[in-house]
Chain A
Amino acid sequence: MTPLKPIAPIRRITLGILFFVVFVAIWAAATFGGLVSKVFLADPLTMVREGISLFVEQGFIKDIGITVWRVVGGFVLAAVLAVPLGIAMGTYRPVGAFFEPFVSFARYLPASAFIPLLILWAGIGELQKLLVIFIGSFFQLVLMVAVIVGNARTDLVEAAYTLGAKDAGIVRRVLLPGAAPDIAETLRLVLGWAWTYVIVAELIGSSSGIGHMITDSQALLNTGQIIFGIIVIGVIGLVSDFCFKAANQKLFPWALLR
């Protein structure tokens, strides 16, 4: 191995798959070999069987649907408000100076710690779930978008001015298109975080969703179902990430050029 030396695509994919194979092999060895008690960790086969039963007998697809809805709902709500505010903060220094200290503080407030408060305010219904995701994503998004827009290349802004652009044109035709790929990338990143918040929200005070299924399974010591639930979350996250990446590549082909 040489530092930073690229590898062939085939080899890269093989190595990536190899890890999963090794991981499952160790898991199987530990469980089938009796190293770990079945009470604490189900073996891979049991996990698959429990997974099938979840879908076939227990309507797990509904839980997945409701969880996806919550993530998307809370995230879209946060993005719709956070992106314009972040753009305004990055573009206009006084707006940035006004909001930035508070937002910097607010983004360290753990979303999960708000759950008890939000249950008091909004009950245990959908609104509470959306609010948890909203709080978890909104402040992060605002700050990251503000930084991206604020770091726009001043030489491009100056060039646009010498070409006759006015302030509105600078925002619309220089700052926004320049920041768009990075903003899209930030949305992709924060959507990933939204997935962790939704599960936490569902672990506490919920009667549906993947998180709720996981708490139920814990009471029944059904580790197979818990692991299956966790894997499902991972797979959904991977799929949404992939879709986001594909959309970004389609929308901003220029950003990929080197």
Chain B
Amino acid sequence: MGVVAVSAARDPSASAQLSVLQVGRVFPAPRGRGTIEALQPIDLAVERNDFITILGPSGCGKSTLLRIIAGLDTPTTGRVLLEGRPITGPGPDRGMVFQSYTLFPWLTVRENICFGLREKGMALPEQQERAAFFIDRVGLNGFEQHYPKQLSGGMQQRTALARALANDPQILLLDEPFGALDNQTRVLMQELLLGIWEADRKTVLFVTHDIDESIFMANRVIVFTARPGRIKTELAIDLPHPRHYTVKTTPRFAEYKGELTEAIRGEVLQTMARERQPPADSGG
């Protein structure tokens, strides 16, 4: 009860599109006794049209936070409000792209993108029209009839992005979506995503452990500590839009990078020190 009262008083911003209020998560430890605190109670306010990246070492609980916002996991303490309404479970108002490839293998690219639209009961011609628009948006023209297994990893994630966008969610949750891609593809995907965001400024929450990635696309970078995760620091990225990939070679970018590298280095070292000790959970 106390937590709710405190968090209500602490509500960072009443105008926020998404408010994370004192959200913490404790997991039972694998095989046996005790618990593992993945996430210490944290507060976070996400404004409309924000592009926030959450940067942290692996296993710091940043994915746990994203899963809680998506409604796929339940917080041990606190709550999450979207447009002022508490989140009780997953829903189409929060689109998600996962690190693993989660396209339905029995559906073609177009059918995958139409999945949520069909679930909404949208008429087929309208579904097709919307799908065509987003297929074009992510540059998959000509691959509408392909099955996921016929696509490269980058193309699969582009389809997953189009699938999430087609649903027109209020907020886009991206859990290291480019983490499994090779470096060149990843850079191109970042540019693609940034271009999409610059076009319609849909709110994005993007989890990553890649510093360049976190700066390049974001207007705010939230740095997480090593487990138990909490917000260590926050950095506003003041780089003009539209951003070209060459921004990565500017002194300003390097400055941000230096600052974030410093902030995260200690956390990574701490994680590594802990990994030499007994087994850890998958709080990732």
Contacts and interface: CB of A to CB of B under 8 A. Distances in A.
B270 interface: no
Nearest to B166: A163
A163 B147 contact: no
Given A163-B115, A257-B147, A158 B104 contact: no
Interface string B117-130: 00110000000000
Contacts of B91: 162, 164
Interface string B62-93: 00000000111000000000000000011110
A257 to B, nearest CB: 4
Nearest to A177: B106
B214 interface: no
B149 interface: yes
A155 B102 contact: yes
A158, A163, A180, A258 pick with most chain B CB within 10 angstroms: A163
A12 interface: no
Nearest to B160: A159
Given A254-B106, A254-B149, A257-B150, A162 B72 contact: yes
A159, A169, A257 pick with most chain B CB within 10 angstroms: A159
Nearest to A161: B90
Interface string B45-62: 000000000000000000
B104 A177 contact: yes
B96 A162 contact: yes
A162 B90 contact: yes
A49 interface: no
B100 interface: yes
Nearest to B119: A164
Given A155-B98, A155-B100, A252-B106, A162 B119 contact: no
B229 interface: no
A254 B148 CA distance: 9
B72 A156 contact: no
B94 to A, nearest CB: 7
B167 interface: yes
A58 B43 CA distance: 86
B105 interface: yes
Contact of B120 (A158, A164, A255, A257): A164
Contact of A163 (B72, B150, B167): B167
Contacts of B173: 162
Question: For chain A, which range describes its interface: under 10, 10 to 19, 20 to 34, or 35 or more residues?
Answer: 20 to 34
Contacts of B72: 158, 161-162
A174 interface: yes
A68 interface: no
A13 B21 CA distance: 67
Interface in B224-272: none
A174 B104 contact: yes
Contacts of B90: 158, 161-162
B96 to A, nearest CB: 4
Interface residues of B, number: 29
Interface in A164-181: 164-166, 169, 173-174, 177-178, 180
A160 interface: yes
B95 A162 contact: yes
A173 B120 CA distance: 13
A230 B281 CA distance: 57
A141 B256 CA distance: 60
Contact of B70 (A162, A178, A258): A162
B120 A156 contact: no
A160 B98 CA distance: 12
Contact of A156 (B104, B149, B150, B167): B104
B116 interface: yes
A164, A178, A255 pick with most chain B CB within 10 angstroms: A164
A163 B149 contact: no
Contacts of B110: none
Nearest to A166: B119
A165 B102 contact: no
A255 B107 CA distance: 11
Nearest to A176: B106
B220 interface: no
Contacts of A258: 149
B163 interface: yes
Given A158-B72, A257-B147, A164 B92 contact: yes
9 shortest A-B CB distances, which residue pairs? A164-B92, A163-B116, A161-B90, A257-B149, A159-B102, A162-B96, A177-B106, A254-B147, A164-B119
7 contacts: A159-B104, A160-B104, A162-B70, A164-B120, A169-B119, A173-B119, A178-B106
Given A155-B98, A257-B149, 11 more contacts: A155-B102, A158-B72, A158-B102, A161-B72, A163-B116, A163-B119, A164-B91, A164-B119, A169-B119, A254-B147, A255-B105
